[in-house]
């Protein structure tokens, strides 16, 4: 529907304030929304909407055509925890909060190191997929890598392979 809000973000002044406000929002409004701390930002989304739910949806959606697939996630903040937990193999970085490092499968120095490790999976993915899907997925990965390189920020991306 036109005008539908999918997510709201709130800027705070500190990690502690973001953590406190995230907990408060989840406690007061947890029946209808989920709040996720994203460094000093708070991401608020409808209940049941998270990066982890996106991974689960993708897994089910792709299962009909490709069978069981392996999903890889890359994230560096508390709001990425659902993504990292839902992925088969997940990556984060030494600067990520301890909780994030504990949930990730691997801690790597840079996003380049993670993507280099994923090259065989990316190659396999592109060989199996239909050209139209392959083009869109390549764009997703490229867009996220471009942002992380140019802006020195990691944008979360999911790379999947058959």
Which tens digits make up the pLDDT trace of 55-66? 888 888 888 877
126, 96, 20, 35: CA torsion to nearest 10: 0
Yes or no: say if 74 and 81 are a contact pair by the CB < 8 Å rule. no
Q: How confident is the model at residue 143 (pLDDT cuts 50, 70, 90)?
A: very low
Cα(132)–Cα(138) distance, integer angstroms = 10
Which among 35, 83, 43 has a CA at the least distance from the CA of 59? 83
Which residue matches tokens 């867009």? 143
Residues 95-110 pLDDT 10s: 999 999 999 999 999 8
Flag whether the pTM goes above 0.85. Answer: no
């Amino acid at each position: 529907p036109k005008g539908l809000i999918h997510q709201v973000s709130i800027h705070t002044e500190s990690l502690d304030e973001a953590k406190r406000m995230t907990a408060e929002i989840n406690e007061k409004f947890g029946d209808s929304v989920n709040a996720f701390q994203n460094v000093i930002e708070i991401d608020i989304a409808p209940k049941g909407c998270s990066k982890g739910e996106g991974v689960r949806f993708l897994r089910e959606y792709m299962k009909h055509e490709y069978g069981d697939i392996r999903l890889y996630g890359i994230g560096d903040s508390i709001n990425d925890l659902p993504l990292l937990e839902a992925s088969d193999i997940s990556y984060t970085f030494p600067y990520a909060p301890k909780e994030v490092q504990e949930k990730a499968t691997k801690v790597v120095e840079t996003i380049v190191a993670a993507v280099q490790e994923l090259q065989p999976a990316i190659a396999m993915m592109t060989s199996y997929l239909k050209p139209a899907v392959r083009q869109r997925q390549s764009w997703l990965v490229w867009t996220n890598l471009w942002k992380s390189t140019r802006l020195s920020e990691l944008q979360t991306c999911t790379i999947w392979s058959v």
